[in-house]
Amino acid sequence: VGWSQELTTLGTEFNEMLDRMQVMAQEELQHKMLVERTEYKMLQAQINPHFLYNTLSSIVWMIEKGRAEESVNMIGALSRLFRISLSKGRTIIRVGDELEHAKSYLTIQKVRYKNKFTVTFDTDPEVLELSTVKLIIQPLLENAIYHGMEFMDGDGEITVRSQIRDGQLYLSLIHISEPT
């Protein structure tokens, strides 16, 4: 009340500018999320064919050598791995499913690496029904196997821990080393 026309116009323009800035910030956030999702899908598409080829080659080799039980176990692990990888298109899954995915991946890798490493899962039961981003443990395991095993003379040991500390979910790859 009592404002001059100039102040009213200035206030209106300022509010419209704030609204435009908010819309632009929202569009930028959506664009960033789209780019991240696309990069994630591209990474998955790059990894899966190579991994699948190697796994299927190992299965064929086992069948040719008459190792039917091992090949059935590996086919089962591959099936579980892809079922969880797909997860009906969801990117958020149960921690229990993420750990099952990791175990299936390790079942396949242990065969391919001729049991050159052991794996221990240290899991607090209360974390199994919590939610996590899908496929966060497997890349850590892959790095541990490919890069950690490269310079080892003996067998390796991997420990995967999932726990709740101070109200937070912790999923971690503890170590890879030669057992003492």
Tell me the per-residue pLDDT of 81-117, one tens digit each, with 9 for 90 and over: 878 777 777 788 899 999 999 999 999 888 888 878 8
In this prediction the pTM is: 0.65
pLDDT (average), residues 65-72: 91
SS3 for 120? strand
Say which DSSP state 178 is in. Answer: -
Q: Which residue has the higher pLDDT, 68 or 5?
A: 68
Pick from 84-88, 133-137, 166-170: least confident: 84-88
Q: Which of 112, 17, 95 is nearest to 59 (CA)?
A: 112
Torsion (CA) 52, 53, 57, 58 in degrees, nearest 10 = -40
Q: Which residues contact 121 (CB under 8 A, 6 or more apart)?
A: 99, 102, 103, 159, 160, 162
- AA identity, residue 114: K
Quote the pLDDT of residue 1. Answer: 52
pLDDT score at 72: 92
Which has the closest alpha carbon to 82: 130, 47, 57? 47
